[in-house]
Amino acid sequence: MQPTRSLSISRRSLLRAQAVFGITLLGSTVAPSSAHAANSTRIHQRAAWQARSPKGAVRRSYGRPKRLIIHHTATANTADMSLARAYSLGRAIQNHHMDSFGWIDTGQHFTVSRGAYVLEGRAGSLASLESASGMVIGAHCYGQNTLAIGIETEGTYTHNAPPAAQYEALVELCARLCRQYRLAASEIYGHRDFNATLCPGAALYALLPQLRSDVDSRLGDGELPTESRIADADVTEEVWEDLETFMPALEFVRR
């Protein structure tokens, strides 16, 4: 499958992002020893990071997703690897998406912090994954929101790769998603594969072949969910499903 690019939009303003998150976008990329080890992709529920309730109904697709799309948050490569920092990040992203962009909720399905903590993003994402009952429709990649799970990776990975523990947590999360949704590891893409954007940063994008290989090795010959539990997505792209990402904040796709 050869993805097509869409949208040519101006790059996200670094000053705006700095103002929103209250942090500098350039920082250390060295992984401190305090980063916790990835552990079987424990996903911290929205209640844990004190997520706000969505402003409207979150739509669902009852077919299985076709692919995973990797993003970076374009925020600081912080040295704070704590769980508290991860929770703060979840709130900051949600506030930005809801208050600055006018979206109903945070746009991504899952977030992987620099400290290797995995957070549930958009409401219903974890329940859908655990029940293998389709996916909630996100707001993370124009043209792909009814078809793809969006994963935000905390940091700016234009020049530096993610810390080892964060990368390991990303591998484990992708393997879990692929196993549950019966996806091949080859169906892991970067945001720039579909939109005219720098996301997920050149360094992280260059790691995607290794990510696919590492995820594939985790899948092995393990038992997958039965076909009767989850069907292939038969939804077609609807023009209005992407208005949430397109209309309020065009610059979001140019990170």
Per-residue pLDDT tens digits for 152-209: 999 999 999 999 999 999 999 999 999 999 999 999 999 999 999 999 999 999 999 9
Residue type for 160, please? N
Query: What was the pLDDT predicted at 221?
Result: 55
pLDDT tens figures, 211-223 = 999 999 999 855 4
Whether 122 is in a domain gets the answer yes
CA dist., res. 168 & res. 180, Å (int):
18
Residues 62, 42, 101: CA angle, nearest 5 degrees: 60
Task: Report pLDDT digits (tens) over 56-112.
Answer: 999 998 888 999 999 999 999 999 999 999 999 999 999 999 999 999 999 999 999
With a cut of 60, say whether residue 49 has pLDDT above it. yes
pLDDT digits (tens, 9 = 90+) for 232-252: 443 333 333 444 544 333 334
Residue 120 covered by a domain: yes
* 224 located within any domain: no
Q: Report yes or no on 164 lying in a domain.
A: yes
Which residues, listed in sequence order, are joined to residue 232 by a DSSP beta bridge?
A: 64
Is 202 contained in some domain?
no
> Do the domain assignments include residue 4?
no
Residue 8 scores a pLDDT above 90:
no
CATH of the domain at 66: 3.40.80.10
The answer to whether residue 12 scores a pLDDT higher than 50 is no
Instruction: Check residue 133 and give its pLDDT.
Output: 79
Q: Is the pLDDT of residue 26 over 80?
A: no
* Residue 226: inside a domain: no
State residue 255's pLDDT score: 56
pLDDT of residue 132: 81
Residue 85, C-beta contacts closer than 8 angstroms, at least 6 positions apart: 78, 113, 114, 115
Range of the domain at 251: 19-27+39-52+61-195+240-255
Q: Check: CB of residue 90 under 8 Å from CB of residue 104.
A: no
pLDDT band (50, 70, 90) for residue 113? very high
Would 111 be classed as within a structural domain? yes
Number of structural domains the chain divides into: 1
Percentage of the chain modeled with pLDDT above 90: 66
Cβ contact 200:153 at 8 Å: yes
| Contacting residues for 84 by C-beta, under 8 A, at least 6 apart | none
User: What is the structure's pLDDT at 63?
Assistant: 85
